[in-house]
Structure 1
Amino acid sequence: MRAPARAIRSLLVVAVSLLISVAGVPVAAVAAAAGGPAVHLALLQVERKTQPVGIDVAQPRFSWIVKSDRRGVEQVSWRVRVATSRSRLDAGRLVWDSGRTVSARSFDVAYAGPALAAATDYVWRVDVTTTKGAASAVSRFRTGLYDLGDWAGSSWIGNARAGDTDQLDLGGASWIWTPEATTPVAPAEPRAFRTVRVSPAGRAARTAEILITADDLYRLWVNGSLVGETQGAVNEWQQSRLFRVGLDASRNVFAIRTDNGAGSPAGLVAKVRITYTDGSTSVFTTGTDWVASRTAPAGFEAPSFDDSAWGAAVVQAPYGQGPWGGNVRAPQAEVRPAPLLRKEFAVDGKLADATLYYAAGGYAEVALNGAAIDDGVLSPGFTDYDDTVQYAAVDVTKQVVRGANAIGMELGRGFYGMTGGNVWRWQLPPWHDEPVVRAVLHLEYADGRTENIVTDDSWSIADGPTVFDDLYAGETYDAREAQNGYDTAGFDDRSWAAASEVGGPKGVLVHQRQQPIRVTESLPAVEVTQPASGVWVVKFPRVLAGWVRFTAQGPAGVTIRAQYGEKLLANGRVNFSNNGNFGSGFQTDRFVLAGAGVPESWQSRFSYKGFQYIEVTGWPGGGPPPLHAFTAQAVHTDAAETGSFASSDATMNQTHRAVVDTLKNNIHGIPTDTPMFEKNGWTGDAAVGAEMFMMNLDVHELFAKWMRDVHETP
């Protein structure tokens, strides 16, 4: 007798259910899949971002993907509705309703409603019909700041700027040398110069400021103590230097040794300003009242040295004339540590939303109540700051607490405040300045109230433990100077100064459209070798762009030095050859230990390097460093891999992997040509690689940002 069909179906359902249960898949999930909709929507985005914060375009573009397990599904129509909350959306209280539009388009659907409000949450719904059924989905976005008025009276803040009304220049000074038959050309020989200055009656000297340069190099002494020197690098004479020294009250001796290159012009030029204890000053310059010698006798710099047999120096040319012209650059200001900024504020009710909007000249690393606000680094993005300044927008609702709160920021130089010279002259763009930040923390309370915490001179500022940072040269971090807890409420900042409201970049403020730069991968060290005494070479699995996280324990003041490179020399040491003529060094980090008695860890914050190897010196303890002391971190614009390649040939697969890694090594807010040497956004490199980038990575917004950069280039 045949069993009834219904009974057989029931037995099959039970059997399948038991099998699924054994496999660990809930029966309800299978039922939903079997009876679920034929069509659903995924990847709802605004301006190619999922639930973005900071949208500041007038007509943001919506997109979605129609998904189905059916074949031949085509979108027939769409409808987009926008409201300021889910309840308003459901109730039909809309900001905009597109109406039903017959179209297969599912991307770049532009908003066409009334102007959106700044710093506001919006909820949007898309309804589509297809050849296999209908579907709808809901998402949200938060707007940014559309114009300067939306920045709520905030100011650019940072360290106080030194006034330049009393800065020395070389006007009125003369290039001097010893008498030569071939003036202004001189032999490749040393020369010595001296001048003795006696304080006027009734006045006591206190300090001197000495502005100086020489072609080709010099050493400067005051009262027998070496004050400064140059090395004779190519065209080093074009950069003047300013030295400040204490003086003897009544008599002071200024002595200089110079050296010239073969068959080239020779000259020394200086201006000195003496400040007396009564506040008055006097100025003198290089001229014929200096004495000069064609040799540099031993001890000639001593105050007691007898120079009575020396002749007078001769003038090669007044400053601004001769072979040097007016090509000497003003002295660079003293390079200050990365500043720390902090502000405490109180929240007196339940919050609905809290959003931090911040722009920077340079980089800003931001923390709230002791924790970073997000995982972005080297933020915000780099631009021509006279035209455009990018700002980041971060939802910090979950980090703000009722009661006392604190924001902390550390500012890095980036390209904006670079101090080290290089062949691209990034230390001299028209917008160059010390690092600054401008920010608004927009608070929206559950009862509808709003409040803005803004950057102004009520913030506090102090030097931080990052005592030096340069995008090309690297960083020096002194853990002894760390201000632990400065980004928490209740921190004692009585010794801090008030932040200064300063000019800041002139460019228009726009939201950072490209993905943030992030640490995307950590690679442990794979080998440590010792090519020379006290020198350790650490190898990582592949070439990458980023930095190394160091962990070490040792006495206070021990300095671990690590220089980065992509390949080795024949002797096993790291190859640091470069083409940048970097005035502040090249790809070198220094980690000064606090001596805490426990392992200490640190990694860069404001510079990235191209490398597979680091050369380490100064490692504490005498023995070789362990592998676990070093972790390489890959750092680049976090563009997802959207293309893939796979074959039966391992070499082909490895080649493609190397290509993709190389592409990632060269996206840092702009497409670059190399992470180790130039870090520049040359148009040729990016144009040649554009198709390869697009085929492998989600770089649409990165290239769109870069094209704006290109458009703004004079």
Structure 2
Amino acid sequence: MTALRPVALRCEHQTAPMGLNRPHPRFDWALEGEGHERSQTAYRLMVRAGEAMLWDSGKVMSAQTRQVEYAGPALVSDQALDWTVMVWDEAGTPSDWAEAGHLFTGLMQQSDWQADWIARYFVLPAGREAPADNPYDNRWQARPADHFRRDFSTPDKPVRATAYVTALGLYELYLNGARVGDAVMAPGWTDYHQRVEYQSYDVTDLVRSGANALGALLGEGWYSGRVGHNQRRAGNHYGGRPALLCQLHLEYADGRIERILSDADWRTVQGPVCYSDFLMGELYDAQLEMPGWAQPGFDDARWQPVEVFTPEPRAPRLEAARAPQVRETVRFPARFLHRARTGGHVHDLGQNIAGYVQLEVQARSGDRFTLRHGEMLDAQGELYVANLRHAVAVDHYIARGHGCERFKPRFTFHGFQFVELTLPDGVSPDDVTLTGIAIHNDLNIAGSLRTGSDMVNKLIANIEWSQRDNFLSVPTDCPQRDERLGWSADAQVFWKTAGYGMDVSAFLEKWFEDIAEAQLPDGAFTDIAPSRPLNPYRQSAQPGAPGWGDAPVILAWQHWLRYGDRALVERHFDRLVAWLRHIADANPDHLRVNAVYNNYGDWLSVGPASDRTMVATAYWVHVADLMAKLSAVVARSELARYYEDQARAVRQAFIKAFVDDDGRITGDTQTAYLLALDFAVLPTDLHAKAAGHLLRKLEEANGHLQTGFLGVKHLCPVLSDIGAPERAYDLLLNQSYPSWGFSIAQGATTIWERWDGWTQDKGFQSVNMNSFNHYAYGAVGEWLYARVAGIDWDETDPGYSTIAMRPLFDPRLGWLEAHYDAPTGRVESTWRIEGSLVTWTFSIPPNCAGRIALPRPVLTLIAGDRPLPVPGASFTLGSGRYTITLSL
């Protein structure tokens, strides 16, 4: 038997963090190894800075593979480190050292930053004119992008060079003409009045001995551009112009460190990016390009000095980026469909994405190309853009007329599947190549699930793409219209699904900081994060509604169950306590009726509306229960008892106010029974009655769902739990309205915001709110992974140390193949139905156990190729690969 292998090394939830926010970071690894009942009995972890050993843990007798905290001397700023680990197995056999992981410590103290914020003056100097009058609509006065540069020289080539950079706005960094890094939309969205994240780049290979030059290009982005509702006016959410902060550290062979800083020595000008805005789009005039502007020796005499800029109302904290950056990930060649009535050429990417189009063309100087973006086509085949509201979503390119030219926007993105290209006279569509480029936070793909149903496979793909398209710095509600905000309920109902699709550990750590910073002084969390700040056109942040403001409690609990990460719970626990206090203070009678916040109820449900106070109170039961559990996680036993008592009191109030003796709940809706059952609100003697009412409501709806955002995630899990998994499958496989299959039958490549986003009878829903890329209804994905595939977390042993394996077999699906890269290692599940026999093959990673629960006793159980005694229907297995057969 081979030794165990430590794999998938991570530090602070990232494969290669480019900056740390704590001097004692946490390390994780997963395990691989053949055989059965494999386990780690010890580990040894080493951290080096070059040849210097910073910490050698020695052999530690422990099975721990998650959140192992560095215990050497406190790490300091500006270090490049390597780390590795070896393990011993159950027989005491050591592994080889794992392939080393790499990390930068970054600038860990605010005092490490010596650079100044620099910005372009608002007024152009005499003799410098704005770009020539353009024929396109820029009624919102979107700003041109700013170029910054400075020359510097080095006596020798440094042995190590690290660039630390961020912006109020968006940036691209250049060194000696080369683009630094591959991130887009950096540094990402935060509340810039409180915190800005920076990126670190190893630029050793780009620095030369002698003359060098740093350059940067800045756009408005979330800082001063437009994001949110009804953006007719200027954005200016956080400030009126973007600013740059840059610090280049050069380490020479003799140990000396030189710093090149953003300061008054830089110069600035505006150039070919005539404007660039998230909602407006981008105008790029290649005739205004400045070849060599980021190269040493460029003549910048006509550029103006920068202004050393002091952000208002205060300088933000500078922290290392907590999550992988937004990057270009997948490309889609555009397929020409037809000419539009406007004369434009309509193209189809075949996939609704968040991103932009790359245009490649040979053209004459001054030729103008226009790209309009939309998610759908109308009945006449025209680009449908009414649902974008005030988002213009149009890019323009003016050619320079020299050879093959390539354009893609720098500081805007769109949500679209279809592109309408307007060509100048004399240019043929055959002269142009269009490619759609998807962008999102480049999180590791965690799971894969495929079945014998083409429709279900398409549903899984649509869920995956809506997650990709909306995980862009924050988990947004939609990527196309004038909104793109981090709505919290949308995220919390989808989060368990999200964790199967991607490793969301680092992404949530970042977004939880946004949530925490948005919390109001009275303890109220907000509906969105980052929250909208005060400015002349906005009011203060909006307190969270039931299900929305409750999201941080739910997210913290799920993060603990999936990743076994106590640190996030500890860091934000007092904020969760403040939210529960906010609810209790406003509702002393234990019914959540006091409207000190919004109450959206079961948002966008179809059919009968659920009583909003009932929904709110059910959520109070749920978050009180979770707070009792989270209190135990952080060893706060007195608070655990307090929340247990609170949950008990709210349950009693709920039953008295909303439930009759027959288990009928006020409103008599599917969501009412789903929440009451899944949140364990009802006493045991009413469970069966409430379950009967739920089944009755399905019958009354002719077997269709009638839930909104808050109800949808509970549908299939609850039906499975009450002994009606076949009804869950009915909903999954349904293709008539309303259902998941209905949108797929209409050609959907992502999840729609509304069940009735488009129907044969009514056409498109209201343009006021009708996104075709909105992940909330994709929450069914958690049931597909956790129950249909049988790969679920176990609340008694978080972090997938024990896997709850309760697959649900149905001949209509035929077969299933799934895997999930859990924090502990890869879990696999494959089943196939032939006649009345199910064959299920699955694997449990080393150091883990599988808690098996099947609908019927097994017929055979084989470990590898070795038969084992038949154990019944419920049992526990150690690591390894197994095959089970049972009858349907």
Deviation, structure 1 residue 118: 0.4
State yes or no: 1:640 paired with 2:444: yes
Moved more, 534-543 or 388-397: 534-543
Map 1:486-525; keep pairs closer than 5 Å. Answer: 486-504=293-311, 506-525=315-334
Name the structure 1 match of 2:103.
Answer: 141
**Cα contact 1:524–1:628 (8 A) shared by 2:** no
The CA distance in 2 between the partners of 1:533 and 1:146, in whole Å, is 55
Residue 449 of structure 2 aligns with an amino acid whose one-letter code is F
Instruction: Output one character per residue of 1:185-218: Cα deviation in whole Å (capped at 9) or x when no partner.
Output: xxxxxxxxxxxxxxxxxxxxxxxxxxxxxxxxxx
State yes or no: 1:366 paired with 2:326: no
Instruction: Output one character per residue of 1:513-533: Cα deviation in whole Å (capped at 9) or x when no partner.
Output: 111111111111112411225
Name the structure 1 match of 2:22.
Answer: 57
Match of 1:595 among 387, 396, 401: 401
Instruction: Output one character per residue of 1:330-380: Cα deviation in whole Å (capped at 9) or x when no partner.
Output: xx9x65410111122222224221111111111101121222111111111
- Is the partner of 2:435 in helix, strand or coil? strand
Residues 51 and 636 from structure 1, CA distance in 2 versus in 1: closer, same or farther, beyond 3 angstroms?
Answer: closer
Q: Which has the larger radius of gyration?
A: 1
Residue 358 of structure 1 aligns with an amino acid whose one-letter code is V
The CA distance in 2 between the partners of 1:663 and 1:117, in whole Å, is 36
Name the structure 2 match of 1:393.
Answer: 200
Residue 20 of structure 2 aligns with an amino acid whose one-letter code is I
State yes or no: 1:656 paired with 2:460: yes
- Is the partner of 1:645 in helix, strand or coil? strand
The CA distance in 1 between the partners of 2:434 and 2:101, in whole Å, is 42
Deviation, structure 1 residue 535: 2.0
Deviation, structure 1 residue 660: 0.6
Residue 414 of structure 2 aligns with an amino acid whose one-letter code is K
Match of 1:439 among 246, 263, 276: 246
Name the structure 2 match of 1:612.
Answer: 417
Name the structure 2 match of 1:536.
Answer: 345
Map 1:241-640; keep pairs closer than 5 Å. Answer: 335-418=142-225, 422-423=229-230, 427=234, 431-504=238-311, 506-532=315-341, 534-578=343-387, 580-582=389-391, 586-596=392-402, 598-621=403-426, 623=428, 625-626=429-430, 629-640=433-444
Instruction: Output one character per residue of 1:259-298: Cα deviation in whole Å (capped at 9) or x when no partner.
Output: xxxxxxxxxxxxxxxxxxxxxxxxxxxxxxxxxxxxxxxx
Deviation, structure 1 residue 627: 8.0
**Cα contact 1:554–1:621 (8 A) shared by 2:** no
Name the structure 2 match of 1:25.
Answer: none
Name the structure 2 match of 1:88.
Answer: 52
Residue 646 of structure 1 aligns with an amino acid whose one-letter code is R
**Cα contact 2:4–2:33 (8 A) shared by 1:** yes
- Is the partner of 1:522 in helix, strand or coil? strand
The CA distance in 2 between the partners of 1:515 and 1:607, in whole Å, is 19
Deviation, structure 1 residue 59: 1.9
**Cα contact 2:84–2:101 (8 A) shared by 1:** yes
Deviation, structure 1 residue 49: 2.2
Residue 638 of structure 1 aligns with an amino acid whose one-letter code is D
Moved more, 570-579 or 467-476: 570-579
**Cα contact 1:475–1:607 (8 A) shared by 2:** yes
Name the structure 2 match of 1:114.
Answer: 73
Instruction: Output one character per residue of 1:119-161: Cα deviation in whole Å (capped at 9) or x when no partner.
Output: 112333434322141133444422111122211x200112014
Match of 2:9 among 44, 68, 90: 44
The CA distance in 1 between the partners of 2:233 and 2:490, in whole Å, is 19
The CA distance in 1 between the partners of 2:424 and 2:337, in whole Å, is 13
Residues 124 and 572 from structure 1, CA distance in 2 versus in 1: closer, same or farther, beyond 3 angstroms?
Answer: closer
TM-score w.r.t. the length of structure 2 is: 0.54
**Unpaired stretches in structure 1, ≥5 consecutive residues:** 1-33, 90-94, 164-226, 232-240, 242-331
- What percent of counterpart residues are identical? 32
- Is the partner of 2:514 in helix, strand or coil? helix
Match of 1:155 among 85, 108, 116: 116
The CA distance in 2 between the partners of 1:545 and 1:45, in whole Å, is 28
Residue 59 of structure 1 aligns with an amino acid whose one-letter code is H
The CA distance in 2 between the partners of 1:430 and 1:622, in whole Å, is 41
**Cα contact 1:526–1:627 (8 A) shared by 2:** no
Deviation, structure 1 residue 561: 1.3
- Is the partner of 1:629 in helix, strand or coil? strand
Residues 76 and 483 from structure 1, CA distance in 2 versus in 1: closer, same or farther, beyond 3 angstroms?
Answer: same
The number of equivalent residue pairs is 501
Residue 343 of structure 1 aligns with an amino acid whose one-letter code is R
**Cα contact 2:388–2:480 (8 A) shared by 1:** no
State yes or no: 1:101 paired with 2:101: no
Residues 430 and 542 from structure 1, CA distance in 2 versus in 1: closer, same or farther, beyond 3 angstroms?
Answer: closer
Residues 420 and 595 from structure 1, CA distance in 2 versus in 1: closer, same or farther, beyond 3 angstroms?
Answer: farther
Residues 576 and 651 from structure 1, CA distance in 2 versus in 1: closer, same or farther, beyond 3 angstroms?
Answer: same
Deviation, structure 1 residue 659: 1.5
The CA distance in 2 between the partners of 1:634 and 1:620, in whole Å, is 30
The CA distance in 2 between the partners of 1:613 and 1:570, in whole Å, is 14
**Cα contact 1:421–1:581 (8 A) shared by 2:** no
Deviation, structure 1 residue 72: 2.2
**Cα contact 1:418–1:471 (8 A) shared by 2:** yes
Deviation, structure 1 residue 389: 0.4
Instruction: Output one character per residue of 1:294-315: Cα deviation in whole Å (capped at 9) or x when no partner.
Output: xxxxxxxxxxxxxxxxxxxxxx
Q: If each structure's helix is expressed as a fraction of its own residues, which one has the higher value?
A: 2
The CA distance in 2 between the partners of 1:503 and 1:426, in whole Å, is 25
Residue 373 of structure 2 aligns with an amino acid whose one-letter code is Y
The CA distance in 2 between the partners of 1:561 and 1:366, in whole Å, is 27
- Is the partner of 2:459 in helix, strand or coil? helix
Residue 157 of structure 1 aligns with an amino acid whose one-letter code is I
The CA distance in 1 between the partners of 2:389 and 2:191, in whole Å, is 21
Moved more, 424-433 or 107-116: 424-433
The CA distance in 2 between the partners of 1:631 and 1:382, in whole Å, is 26
**Cα contact 2:166–2:196 (8 A) shared by 1:** yes
**Cα contact 1:79–1:97 (8 A) shared by 2:** yes
Name the structure 2 match of 1:314.
Answer: none
Match of 1:77 among 24, 42, 58: 42
The CA distance in 1 between the partners of 2:261 and 2:321, in whole Å, is 19
The CA distance in 2 between the partners of 1:113 and 1:426, in whole Å, is 53
State yes or no: 1:700 paired with 2:505: yes
Residues 622 and 358 from structure 1, CA distance in 2 versus in 1: closer, same or farther, beyond 3 angstroms?
Answer: closer
**Cα contact 1:364–1:378 (8 A) shared by 2:** yes
- Is the partner of 1:489 in helix, strand or coil? coil
**Cα contact 2:225–2:236 (8 A) shared by 1:** no
Instruction: Output one character per residue of 1:651-674: Cα deviation in whole Å (capped at 9) or x when no partner.
Output: 222221122111101111110111
Residue 685 of structure 1 aligns with an amino acid whose one-letter code is D
Name the structure 2 match of 1:178.
Answer: none
Deviation, structure 1 residue 98: 3.6
The CA distance in 2 between the partners of 1:482 and 1:589, in whole Å, is 17
Q: If each structure's strand is expressed as a fraction of its own residues, which one has the higher value?
A: 1
Name the structure 1 match of 2:473.
Answer: 669
Residues 699 and 59 from structure 1, CA distance in 2 versus in 1: closer, same or farther, beyond 3 angstroms?
Answer: same
- Is the partner of 2:164 in helix, strand or coil? strand
Residue 611 of structure 1 aligns with an amino acid whose one-letter code is F
Name the structure 2 match of 1:123.
Answer: 82
TM-score w.r.t. the length of structure 1 is: 0.67
Deviation, structure 1 residue 434: 0.3
Instruction: Output one character per residue of 1:163-184: Cα deviation in whole Å (capped at 9) or x when no partner.
Output: 9xxxxxxxxxxxxxxxxxxxxx
